[in-house]
Amino acid sequence: MPTPPAPQPSRRRVLAAAAVALPAAGLLARSGTAAAAQTPAAPDRAADAPLAGGGDLGPNVIVFDPGTRGIQAKLDEIFARQERAQFGSGRYAVLFKPGTYHGLNAQLGFYTSIMGLGLSPDDTLINGDVTVDAGWFGGNATQNFWRSAENLALKPVSGTNRFAVSQAAPFRRMHVKGNLNLAPDGYGWASGGYIADSRIDGTVQPYSQQQWYTRDSSVGGWLNGVWNMVFSGVEGAPAQSFPDPAYTTLRTTPVSREKPFLYLDGAEYKVFLPALRTDARGTTWGSGTPKGTSLPLSRFYVVKPGATAAVINAAADQGLHLLFTPGVYHVDRPVEIKRAGTVVLGLGYATIVPDGGVSALKVADVGGVRIAGLLVDAGPRNSEVLIEIGPAGASAGHAADPVTVQDVFVRIGGAGAGRATTSLVVNSHHTIIDHTWIWRADHGDGVGWETNRADYGVVVNGDDVLATGLFVEHFNKYDVQWNGERGRTVFFQNEKAYDAPNQAAVQDGATRGFAAYKVAGSVTAHEGWGLGSYCFYKDDPTIVQDHGFAAPRRPGVKFHDLLVVSLGGKGQYAHVLNDTGAPTSGTNTVPSKVVSYP
């Protein structure tokens, strides 16, 4: 087998329809802006009237069945539009009805989701591939973001399916009848990803993948690891062996509930809501009908391009769930979820942009809310908080029916100037954060230390919050600030802000550098497994981080398998956690590791 190349810092990226007709405004629908002035006012006037659930899935959802002609040509057309459109406005969801499809290669570009419409992945078989590679970027997959594959069975033509991705590219509820290669052709770098509720019959081949998290799945084998490979509830996972090989393995996942998904029950669209599991291991679908409940599409307001926040909120207030179809939605007020058990599901990287400094999404202190499949893009006027799960001071317990936040991604800058003081605040107790990438852009448009200012990535104030697959990068201050009790994180990936101008800009009182993950001094119980932080201070390589992680030293505060890395020697970590762990040094990009703390 080929061996992964030695770490090379230069390869890192520097580093339903409503009863009223909604306006046909194209992909980019604005609310409260000059563009909105050109849009008929009927949707807002009709917001007081009852809204119908169900309806078609909008202009950017493409549905195939086994008898459809020209499937490959359509897949190729979408890929040609999206392959290089890293910060474009195109959004697509490609859905395959149950059945068998032959000879397809679905290449996935930016903002493209491919999904089967069966209740089980095995209901929809592609004798072919769902491919992600990195030819557009010279064989380097470290910018292969914002794309996904869900609820399909694949029988790869060569025996191996290639899915070379980095952040915000989930591989969920998939059955690969062969091997799965996570690296680009030629084994250029890739930088992290996520598998859940999937079965890979053959071997998962990470090769040059720097870090990866796999949850509640089954694998036939696992080839190698570079820095940080984390498994929880995975049958066939390699044994715990951190630091060498760098495998962190938990036999089960403490609490999990899979992402809601769209499927066909005969000719009727429904959304399946998987059941909550504790101490989960293996897939939800491997032995009979998965546990959970279904909602007919008639109980959803299908949000399509042109919808305003007023209409969306009116639908939620009258008791409809929300299904966002692919598009970019500018809102002049937050989307507010006040009713317990509400489902908010996005298709094809549906994107919410808050205008005028408002929040994008707020959830009341109610249980059972499921937020999934959305991208939030900060607007040019600073938002204090982009996503708020529970109001400040939330006090209700939700252990039996938690809020879940899954495949929800946040971006500040990159697609244009954006600012937000805090990206995600979790105030509700027992919330599950399952796969999120919270990103202050380090490249693209509107990027600069003050241009896309964003001080905090994730702030957790609620108690008993669990994060599985937490990716947070490049914030001006703390990437994660955890204030709640009994918090747990399984897998954390971080890069400190590349563009810090000097040491003074990242000075936290007497402490040099803001920790990537800080547990408040008042916390008495917290636990984390498989956490990594990297620095690449390109503008001032003399910057020192006193530590990557900070936490009070108490018996109830525990960490397992941590590492820090200086990419090419651009900056230094003096310690890993508090004053524990050796410093990073030199230009060899060698991690400093801590197996357990305290």
- Cβ neighbours around 127 below 10 Å, total: 15
**396 phi and psi, to 5 degrees?**
-70, 150
Of 562, 83, 13, 18, nearest to 316 (Cα)? 18
**Which H helix or E strand runs over 267?**
none
Largest Cα separation within the chain, whole Å, is 67
Task: Report the DSSP beta bridge partners of residue 200.
Answer: 176, 219
98, two tokens? 């149950």
Q: 288-293: long-range contacts at Cβ-Cβ below 8 A with a sequence spacing of 24 or more?
A: 289/119, 289/120, 290/119, 290/120
Whether 527 sits among the annotated catalytic residues: the reply is no
Q: How far apart are CA 22 and CA 311, in angstroms?
A: 10
Among residues 543, 453, 541, 539, the alpha carbon closest in space to that of 499 is found at 539
CA angle 119–120–123, rounded 5-degree value: 95
Which tokens sit at 195?
Answer: 């598998």
What's the length of the chain?
A: 598
For residues 460 and 481, is the Cβ–Cβ distance under 8 A?
Answer: yes
Residue among 77, 485, 495, 527 flagged as catalytic: 495
Annotate 86-150 with DSSP letters as a single string. TT-S--EEEEE-SEEEEEEEEE--TTEEEEE-SSSGGGEEEEEEEEB--GGGTT--TT--SEEEE
**What token pair was written down for 310?**
């007023």
Please state whether beta strands 549-550 and 511-512 pair in parallel, antiparallel, or not at all (unpaired): unpaired
* b/e sequence 204-227, b meaning 16+ C-beta within 10 Å: bbbbbbbbbbbbbbbbbebbbbbb
Show Cβ contacts of residue 3 under 8 Å, excluding neighbours closer than 6 positions: 224
Say if residues 557 and 523 touch (Cβ distance below 8 Å): yes
C-alpha distances in Å from residue 320, one per residue of 210, 278, 295, 313, 373: 42, 29, 11, 10, 18
Phi, psi of 366 (to 5 degrees): -130, 155
Q: What kind and span of H or E run contains 383? A: strand 383-389
Distance between CA 495 and CA 206 in Å, rounded?
Answer: 20
What is the DSSP code (8-state) at residue 61?
E
For residue 160, the cross-strand partners are 179
Q: Which residues of 262-299 are buried (b: 16+ CB within 10 A; e: fewer)?
A: bbbeeeebbbbbbebbeebbbbbbbeeebebeebebeb
Taking alpha carbons only, the member of 531, 398, 523, 378 closest to residue 461 is 523
The secondary structure element, H or E, covering residue 584 is none
Catalytic residues: 495
